[in-house]
Chains A and B, each alone.
Chain A
Amino acid sequence: MIEVGTELPEKVFYLDRALLKQYADASGDQNPIHQNEEFAVSVGLPNVIAHGMLTMALVGKYVSDFAEGAENVLEFGARFTKPVIVPAGEKVDLTVTASVSEIADGKVSLSLTATSAGVKVLGMAKAVVKK
């Protein structure tokens, strides 16, 4: 039984350079800041960063799982507040949690939290699902 305020279980995704390349191919976003460390540093970034939309896609998987299928996801939005930094040879975490913020008319609203290495990477992350 879920109600307003219910905290949903945490799920941890792991990102590495191979996943960034896989996402670049799946999404068509081949911006080198997500693949090439030398280029990323040359434009003032600390290292290669994940696509904000990869972070959002993984949080979207969390939402789909809660909704018991992507077909039940009605709204999904987020602000990209900090980058997910992905050094070579490492797996970095994306830790996702959520709480139920509203239940009405067969729809459940979630307030989502996503962190990597303890840093909040999404702001105002919300989803509305049919449930």
Chain B
Amino acid sequence: MLNPDSVGRTFAGTDVITISQSEVDAFCAVVGEADTTIAPPTFTIRITLTQFEAILTQPEIGLDWTRLVHGDQKFEIFSPIKSGDALTCDATIESYRVAAGNEIVSVRSDLHRGKDLVVSAWSTLVVRA
């Protein structure tokens, strides 16, 4: 079970993540995108889901990642992501509830380039009973 005290907490990402052209190329290749100068709209999930996993599975938070399914996902893109972007990423646990034994956690991740917010991503994650 998730520790309810963690709701509302924001966790700063530890490292600056620099986007490489090969990462963008690989993502574009999956969807058949020929223009690799801009990352596809869902590209930043590569950063945010990994970060959510690292945060939410900490012993003090206590989410069981092995029984997790993705409920919904939303992106707001304020500035397109490109190769060479150096991004920081912080995550906030926005809400948590239990329904029919399933744990439902909503997390938001904000990616910044320097001081500028470039992408906000919301994920609803469901840990099945």
Q: What A residues does B42 contact at CB under 8 A?
A: 53, 56-57, 60, 76
Which of A2-10, A26-34, A101-109, A113-121 is the contact stretch?
A26-34
Question: In the complex, what residues of B have CB within 8 A of residue A71's CB?
Answer: 38, 80
When chains A and B are docked, how far (Å) is the Cα of A25 from the Cα of B29? 11
A46 touches B (CB below 8 Å): no
> Is B41 on the interface with A (CB-CB < 8 A)?
yes
- Nearest B residue to A62 by beta-carbon distance? B31
Give the shortest distance, in Å, between B64 (CB) and chain A (any CB). Answer: 13
Q: Are A57 and B31 neighbours in the complex by a CB distance under 8 Å?
A: yes
Q: Which of B32, B45, B72 contacts A124 (CB 8 A)?
A: B72
User: Which of A23, A53, A64, A124 has a CB less than 8 Å from the CB of B70?
Assistant: A53
Identify the interface centre among B29, B39, B72, B75: most chain A CB within 10 Å of its CB. B72
Tell me whether B72 and A27 are in contact (CB under 8 A).
Answer: no
- Interface residue tally on A, bucketed by range: 20 to 34
Task: Give Cα A73–Cα B40 distance, bound, in whole angstroms.
Answer: 9
B74 at interface (Cβ–Cβ under 8 A)?
A: yes
Instruction: Report the tally of A-B residue pairs with Cβ distances under 8 A.
Output: 91
Other-chain residue from A57, A69, A78 in contact with B30 (beta carbon distance below 8 A) = A57
Interface residues of A in 44-69 (CB under 8 A from B): 52-54, 56-58, 60-61, 63-64, 69
Mask: chain B, 43-57; 1 = CB below 8 Å from A; 0 = not: 001100110000000
Q: Which residues of A contact B (CB under 8 A)?
A: 13, 19, 22-23, 25-29, 52-54, 56-58, 60-61, 63-64, 69-71, 73-80, 124, 127
Additional A-B contact list (14), CB under 8 Å, known A13-B32, A53-B45, A61-B32: A19-B30, A26-B29, A26-B46, A57-B31, A61-B31, A70-B39, A71-B80, A74-B76, A75-B76, A75-B77, A76-B77, A77-B75, A77-B122, A80-B70
B: which residues have CB within 8 A of A?
23, 26-27, 29-33, 35, 38-42, 45-46, 49-50, 69-77, 80, 122
- What 5 A-B pairs have minimum CB-CB distances, sorted nearest first? A77-B74, A61-B31, A79-B72, A26-B26, A71-B80
